[in-house]
């Protein structure tokens, strides 16, 4: 998983499967809720990720939970995924990462969701990094708003004010 979204997806899948085995549909619902508002995870993103993680030895199919008597149903049984020992180790590595990618917008919510599995020291580093990133953004929005206030129409100005209030609210929450 080389990109930021892939890192968040890998962490989310590993973290959820660390809690309990589950099938793809349930994983998709739960990962979508972790990724946050407005970010829907498609099956076209999830299943290639799951297949790659299987090839990498991070997860396996739980054959005992997957078997469904064919005579009882015309549908194929749900494939239930569970972590391997390597998957648990990879989750521990990802959840302990406290660098800049952990506090960026794309990954912060997923890291925050698994703070229960993160050391207190790393939680603090992630929260401090997030606050710093938000304060930088806040200053940038304030400067931009001050520079362009007279050139903006009322709708764009209100959108910028809303963005400013959102960032201020998150900074207050972090503090």
- pLDDT > 90 in the chain, percent: 39
pLDDT class of 65 with cuts at 50, 70, 90: low
pLDDT class of 1 with cuts at 50, 70, 90: very low
Q: How far is CA 44 from the centre of its chain?
A: 17
Residues 6+ apart with CB under 8 A from 7: 1, 94, 101, 106, 107
- Contact of 114 with 95, CB cutoff 8 Å: yes
Q: What are residue 141's DSSP bridge partners?
A: none
- Contact of 21 with 65, CB cutoff 8 Å: yes
Whole-structure pTM value: 0.77
Return the half-sphere exposure (C-beta side, CA atoms, 13 A cut-off) of residue 116. 5
- Quote the pLDDT of residue 67: 52
- Quote the pLDDT of residue 106: 80
């Amino acid at each position: 998983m080389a990109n930021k979204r892939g890192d968040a997806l890998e962490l989310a899948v590993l973290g959820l499967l660390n809690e309990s085995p589950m099938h793809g549909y349930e994983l998709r619902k739960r990962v979508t809720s972790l990724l946050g508002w407005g970010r829907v995870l498609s099956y076209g993103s999830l299943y290639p990720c799951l297949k790659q993680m299987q090839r990498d030895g991070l997860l396996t199919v739980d054959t005992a939970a997957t078997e469904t008597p064919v005579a009882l149903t015309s549908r194929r049984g749900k494939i239930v995924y569970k972590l391997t020992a390597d998957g648990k180790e990879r989750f521990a590595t990802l959840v302990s990462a406290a660098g800049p990618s952990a506090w960026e917008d794309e990954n912060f919510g997923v890291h925050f969701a698994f703070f229960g599995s993160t050391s207190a020291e790393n939680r603090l580093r992630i929260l401090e990094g997030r606050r710093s990133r938000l304060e930088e953004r806040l200053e940038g929005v304030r400067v931009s708003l001050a520079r362009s206030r007279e050139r903006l129409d009322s709708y764009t100005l209100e959108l910028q004010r809303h963005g400013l209030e959102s960032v201020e609210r998150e900074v207050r929450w972090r503090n």
